[in-house]
Chain A
Amino acid sequence: MSDPPVTPRWRILLTPRWLGWHLFAVVAVAGMIWLGDWQLRRALAGNTLSWAYTFEWPIFAIFGVVFWAKTIKDELRPALKGDNQAPDIVLPGGRDPSRAGQSDFGRSGQSGQGDGDEAAVRDPDSRDPADQELAEYNAYLARLSDEVRRHGRWHGLR
């Protein structure tokens, strides 16, 4: 195909996969509203406990809409920000050099670039809690980076 670069980003929401999710969202929300109505009828018929569910289901329905909206917002975000994607980061042992400056990565002036540090990254069962922590942190960065790369877009906060 020759036109993908020109296709507006929102068109992704019309792919069969997304249409399926839209349908699911609509059915789920409608179902929750129906359940709320059912509980209301039960409550009016004298079941006191049903009053709680009468209010609970509509709240879940609202949350379902919020969840759906956030998912779409997540999906479309890169289009708003343009193509300032993070560069392809190579993470040997889960390292992320691009984060070194802005975060506490390598906070340990102590752990430096020593071999012990590398070993800790490879061995999550390392006894030293600081190394363990670093290994977990590296795994986290690797996971976030991987998620971004696999989907070709950034799923971040806001």
Chain B
Amino acid sequence: VNSDRQLLLVVRAYRALAYLTGTVLIVLCFVGIPLQVIAGNLVIVKYVGTAHGILYIIYVVVAFVMTRMVRMKVASPGTVIVLLAGTVPVLTFVVERWVTRTYINPALAAAGQAKTPATVAR
């Protein structure tokens, strides 16, 4: 039961970070960089860029722990894509949905979380 709660906690942390990192990266790439290139304004790139850098480090660690807990293989394309997704705009959102469908939901179901459909059915 303890490990079940741990799994749920890690999954939630992973999701939060996937969305946060993804959003910050979109701001950086689609607002910050155009501003820098067109207007020569470095403010967003500077602060949002640093924020994304820090978030991505945390994302990598949490996402890696998540892949271990849902029993994805370490050196597998899936794991590598999950880890690198944080550096490609929009990809974290897509990958999060894919991992949820193929690994997280089944793992949660196996852990007994399925009794509360809200956590499984998204």
Partners in one complex: yes
Majority secondary structure of chain B interface residues (helix, strand, loop or mixed)? helix
| Cα separation A81 to B103 with both chains bound (whole Å) | 25
Inter-subunit contact A140/B102 (CB<8 Å): yes
Known interface pairs A71-B74, A74-B73. Does A133 touch B121 (Cβ–Cβ under 8 Å)?
Answer: yes
Contact with A129, one of B60, B102, B121 (Cβ below 8 angstroms):
B121
B61 interface hit (Cβ, 8 Å): yes
| Cα separation A37 to B71 with both chains bound (whole Å) | 35
Q: Which residues of A contact B74 (CB under 8 A)?
A: 67, 70-71, 74, 155
Inter-subunit contact A59/B110 (CB<8 Å): no
Q: Which residues of A contact B89 (CB under 8 A)?
A: none
Using a Cβ cutoff of 8 Å, how many contacts connect chains A and B? 83
Inter-subunit contact B73/A155 (CB<8 Å): yes
| Total chain B interface residues with beta-carbon distance under 8 A | 31
Residues of A in contact with B (beta carbons under 8 Å apart): 21, 48-49, 52-53, 56, 59-60, 63, 66-67, 70-71, 74, 99, 103-105, 107, 129-130, 133, 136-137, 139-141, 143-144, 147, 155-158
Besides A71-B74, A133-B117, 10 more A-B contacts (Cβ < 8 Å) are A52-B49, A52-B50, A60-B57, A67-B74, A67-B75, A130-B117, A136-B105, A136-B109, A139-B106, A141-B106
Query: What are 25 A-to-B residue pairs whose CB atoms are below 8 Å?
Result: A52-B49, A52-B50, A52-B53, A56-B53, A56-B57, A67-B75, A71-B75, A74-B74, A99-B110, A104-B114, A107-B115, A129-B121, A133-B105, A133-B109, A133-B114, A136-B105, A137-B105, A137-B114, A140-B102, A140-B105, A140-B106, A147-B73, A155-B74, A157-B69, A158-B68
